Structure 1
Amino acid sequence: MLHRGAAAGPRPFNSCLVEAHLQARNKHPAHLKRQRCRTIHRSACGAGDITTCGSNTVDALNAQLLYEEHPPRAPNFIGPIKVIEMPGKGRGIVASADLKPGTLLLAVPPVAYLCEVDAPRPSGETLVDEIIDKGLWKHSWMQSLYDGSYQGTSMPSLDMPSVASGSNASTREVLDEENSPSSQRAGTSSGATNSGGPSTTNPEAACMQSGFSPEDKTRIAKMTKFNCFGDNREDDALCAVSGRPSAGHIGIWGPFAMLNHSCAPNTMNYVVDTANQGIMVVRAAKAIAQGEEVTISYMGRPQLRPVGPRQVKLLSDYGFECDCQRCLQEQALEEKLGDLYEGLWDEVSERRRPEFDEACLTYAETGDEEDLQALHEHLQASMTQLLGKLQKARVAPNARLAILGSMFELFELKMDVELALDYTEEFVYTLGTATKAVQAVSPGSDLAVSLASVLIVTQARLHGAESPQVAQGKALSDEALLARYGPIKDDALKSQLRKANLTMYN
């Protein structure tokens, strides 16, 4: 997705337009066996079928999203949020009430959606073809999406219906109702084929039949590029708990597309593919004050880089420079930290990681730990130097954690070395600091939940299941679980989710 305040010049349509902007994980988990793959097109709830806030409703929906393999119908839930025009950003979403961590903000079906069970996500080009082939570009949400220009865009209402990709009766009924002037902005004509008529599997032929030009196809591709979300898997822990296979997925969710980026977002999101419905779930991962902007991260793993590499990534992929609080804090500290900060990140990612791989090979072949020990000493010295700089600069605790969150590759490599050397106590200290840092900048992420789960198990081995150290680990875990899954009243379920996150992501 593109930051709504950024402007992008026109460019010709090409097959890489969408692919380069997907929020997809880099690899498919090895534990998932590749079974028969199928692409699934489906529809969700119909027009006007919006559920709003209510404690009983939210409790039931939370349980449905956590427990049930086949819920009876797709939810279309909108929490206490609203779309507004934001100075310098265009449209965005703000909280319409004070929000606690774990509050459900969205549980909505997609406008367009494709998935493959037990396989990586379908391609972005395939989603563009599906949108054209099924006539989904006529949907009011599609017409309101940012396409690189604000010409013709409108201020959407979050209670507009969302409709998933598909060719069954419920999809056709909604699309047939939406023969509005806004639909004509996509280049349709009186002879355009709607999705209720015969469908063609050839997108180019669909373009010809519908009467719009290659420029219109480029616009649809741009809307998809700037607003789609894709991932190679769902939340594997939820899949394990509910007994469902994981699905690689890609789609567009109208209300979700209104959320702007922050490098330290106050929400988390993932797709729950229960009953093949592709529900986008968004929760408050931190306390959010009424009127405060509700944000997500567009980046995935690059979110854990220093500010310089993050800005390069965002400018390259999305066309804007981020001015979130985390970026401004880090930029203000650059002079105090000198070359140590980003220089250390470059060193770890470009030099020390290959050194670790070579040292592991040497250890496996000869049993010689000398190279691993030397690498650990270097990493420990670098960590000590960084922490000393932060203390000398009198960096506030929150900003300090944000800086450490930007150096996760250093923590990760140090933990890998400590595990290889069986330095358990050092590993636990590094892991505890890394868990707090990741939760600070990426609250409720699968990584934060996983790290906390590993911390509990390791502390229990060192100090016993009833030790204060395990209690501290559980407190970190509870914070991450609340942000990701909402309030969990069932202790057995909480234990299952911890165990599943430990198994799936460790």
Structure 2
Amino acid sequence: MESLRCCSGTARAPLRPGGRAAAAAAAAAAASARAPRRRLRCAAAPAAAAGPAPFDPDSSGWLLDPRQLPERFVGPLECAAIGGKGRGLRTTRAVAAGELLLLVPPLAALTGAEEAAPPPSELVEAIAAGPAAASPWLGLLFDGSAGSARAPVDLQHPPAGEGGISGPDGGDSGGDSSGAGAPASAAAPGKAARGAVARRGGAPAALAPARRERQALKRRAARAVAFNAFGDRHQDLALAELAPAEPPASLVGLWPEFALLNHDCAPNAINLPLHLAGGQCYMAVRAARSIAAGDEVTISYVGPEQLRPLAPRRAALKAVFEFECRCARCLGEAALPDPVQATVGAVAQATAELRPAFEAAVRARDAAALRDARLEASAALVQLYSELRRCLVRPAARLWVQAGLYDTLEVVADADEALLRIEAGGGGGGEAAPGTAGDASAAAAASAAAALAAVAAASPGSDLHAQLAARCAAASRRHAAALRAARAPEDAVAAAEAAAEAAAARRSAALAVRYGRALPAGLEAGLVGSLERLALRDLGAAAGTGADEGDPAPV
């Protein structure tokens, strides 16, 4: 794995993929300095209870109860050579969407206040000063060298025992002391190890080997963190709402098995850090799509960039991870005809220029300005769809393009939702909205569904995917209720109710991918409520309302 992965989220809303995302060490340190932190060193594994029951990977109780966590779970995976990538993980049998692939503790992890993850330099210190320093994993993880990208790893029989700093770059080899790609602050030598003073008269000669060993260990830890660590500005917020002992927290840590996964801009797996406040800091990985036997399992290394067009997405990966992505999505978008690529760039630029005015309209609850913003964003999308049809772009590539323009889809969907809220509250900015309440609720449901389809194609299983699925199901249910209340024709009501059932099924599928396929009814209901609130909380906050204020009457 190349470089530190920290989920950068987004400045304007948490509705972004929660998968692996890149952030420079300096950015993490700056964010850390802005808020007080509580840091928790997470144990490598929970203490095993006497005679524990066998772990059931299809169960879901461990999502809220860390006492049900296994010591370590690895599903049908193996580490293998992947063409053009070095090594990676692939399946040993066919895997269904939502199946648990990994549930593993960290080598070391630190937590902090929400939105203020500890800097990676502190993780380096925690590894070098703790039991992780003796782990053989430090000699098996990618360290920037070509050889380390090919070292075999037996996932089913992980390395055990003390690894110390032995191996190809153990000790004071005289090579690059900073480590390829390691943050300068993380690689700086620190204090000598405790107990390093010689027993016979404190001779300086006896101190030197221990100091060199300590420095070599810190260099190895710095390389391991620089190329393999994961960070996130907060854990899953819906789960945090349901677990009083799990207040939102940020984290940075090193999960060796998880670090073996490679990147894809439309990945087939999703990761979920769990139980930060509970002291376990486990990492779960699930299949986000059906995966054939022998296929590579991939995740996303980036956050908001995953929902941006090809050029800025590739640039972000190149800047932080120093490779040019050649996944199917990137190659598919690179092969698009020039007119399509030019239109994509124009739509992205127009949306960036429109967003400040749109956000001001949301805050002011200005219905006329919201309609203007929606009209402009919709016109840009119509131009894009026309170009995609004219150039006969295949459906999968169309969805990838739309995912890259999620910001535009979001403007339309949020404008529709804001207008519906304003109308339900009896306000219209001095100008009556065209059509009926049924038309407004239909528009809100349709635009949210368009955004969901794009995100599901590029970021399945992400927090954004789950939140949008919950939002779409609620919007479809609300539209069916609006038609019933308006005594619309029976065929229209029946069609709306069928659409609501389909939206509920898509929501259940999204929850299964992120949280598991066998969720207890109570847990699923709680997650649905939390996800619905989270999906619109920023829209409500921008409008000066609570998460539920201004909503149409519940149905």
| TM-score > 0.5 by shorter chain | yes
Matches within 5 A, 1:134-153: 134=130, 136-151=132-147
Distance in 1 between residues matched to 2:240 and 2:158, nearest whole Å = 27
Distance in 2 between residues matched to 1:315 and 1:48, nearest whole Å = 43
The answer to whether the 8 Å contact 1:127/1:250 transfers is: yes
Q: Does 1:430 align with 2:419?
A: no
1:185 maps to 170
Which deviations, in whole Å up to 9, do the C-alpha atoms of 1:434-470 show, x marking residues without a partner?
A: 1111011111111011011111112222213991121
Task: Rate the CA distance shift 1:160–1:300 in 2: closer, same or farther, 3 A.
Answer: farther
- Which of 263, 266, 272 is the equivalent residue of 1:264? 266
Structure 1: gaps of 5 or more residues: 4-17, 163-173, 190-201
1:82 maps to 78
One-letter amino acid of the counterpart of residue 448, structure 1: H
2:371 maps to 373
Distance in 1 between residues matched to 2:520 and 2:48, nearest whole Å = 33
Structure 2: gaps of 5 or more residues: 15-33, 175-187, 194-207, 421-439, 485-495, 537-555
Which deviations, in whole Å up to 9, do the C-alpha atoms of 1:266-289 show, x marking residues without a partner?
A: 000011116311110000010001
CA drift at 1:214: 6.1
User: TM-score, normalised to structure 2's length?
Assistant: 0.74
RMSD of aligned C-alpha atoms?
Answer: 3.3
* Residues 472-481 or 255-264, more deviating: 472-481
Task: Rate the CA distance shift 1:225–1:26 in 2: closer, same or farther, 3 A.
Answer: farther
- Which of 444, 468, 471 is the equivalent residue of 1:451? 468
The answer to whether the 8 Å contact 1:95/1:294 transfers is: yes
The answer to whether the 8 Å contact 2:448/2:472 transfers is: yes
The answer to whether the 8 Å contact 2:97/2:289 transfers is: yes
SS at match of 1:39: coil
One-letter amino acid of the counterpart of residue 312, structure 1: A
CA drift at 1:45: 3.5
The answer to whether the 8 Å contact 1:263/1:303 transfers is: yes
Distance in 2 between residues matched to 1:26 and 1:388, nearest whole Å = 30
Matches within 5 A, 1:15-30: 21-26=5-10
The answer to whether the 8 Å contact 1:48/1:160 transfers is: no
One-letter amino acid of the counterpart of residue 256, structure 1: F
% identity of equivalent residues? 30
1:38 maps to 38
Q: Does 1:120 align with 2:123?
A: no
1:307 maps to 310
* Residues 491-500 or 277-286, more deviating: 491-500
The answer to whether the 8 Å contact 1:341/1:386 transfers is: yes
CA drift at 1:485: 1.2
Task: Rate the CA distance shift 1:143–1:48 in 2: closer, same or farther, 3 A.
Answer: farther
CA drift at 1:47: 12
Task: Rate the CA distance shift 1:400–1:104 in 2: closer, same or farther, 3 A.
Answer: same
2:152 maps to 155
Matches within 5 A, 1:63-462: 63-68=60-65, 70-71=66-67, 74-116=70-112, 120-134=116-130, 136-151=132-147, 154-159=151-156, 161=158, 177-179=162-164, 181-182=166-167, 185=170, 187=172, 204-206=190-192, 209-212=210-213, 217-245=218-246, 246-273=248-275, 275-349=278-352, 351-360=353-362, 363=364, 369-422=367-420, 423-462=440-479
Task: Rate the CA distance shift 1:247–1:393 in 2: closer, same or farther, 3 A.
Answer: same
Distance in 2 between residues matched to 1:55 and 1:444, nearest whole Å = 27
* Residues 468-477 or 217-226, more deviating: 217-226
CA drift at 1:39: 1.4
The answer to whether the 8 Å contact 2:78/2:89 transfers is: yes
Task: Rate the CA distance shift 1:488–1:298 in 2: closer, same or farther, 3 A.
Answer: same
Task: Rate the CA distance shift 1:58–1:28 in 2: closer, same or farther, 3 A.
Answer: farther
The answer to whether the 8 Å contact 1:228/1:250 transfers is: yes
CA drift at 1:140: 1.2
The answer to whether the 8 Å contact 2:60/2:516 transfers is: no
CA drift at 1:36: 9.0
SS at match of 1:42: coil
How many residue pairs are counted as aligned between the two chains?
A: 451
CA drift at 1:504: 3.1
Task: Rate the CA distance shift 1:47–1:315 in 2: closer, same or farther, 3 A.
Answer: farther
The answer to whether the 8 Å contact 1:139/1:183 transfers is: no
CA drift at 1:479: 1.7
The answer to whether the 8 Å contact 1:224/1:252 transfers is: yes
Which deviations, in whole Å up to 9, do the C-alpha atoms of 1:310-339 show, x marking residues without a partner?
A: 111100011001111111111111425141
CA drift at 1:432: 0.5
One-letter amino acid of the counterpart of residue 476, structure 2: Q
The answer to whether the 8 Å contact 1:133/1:206 transfers is: no
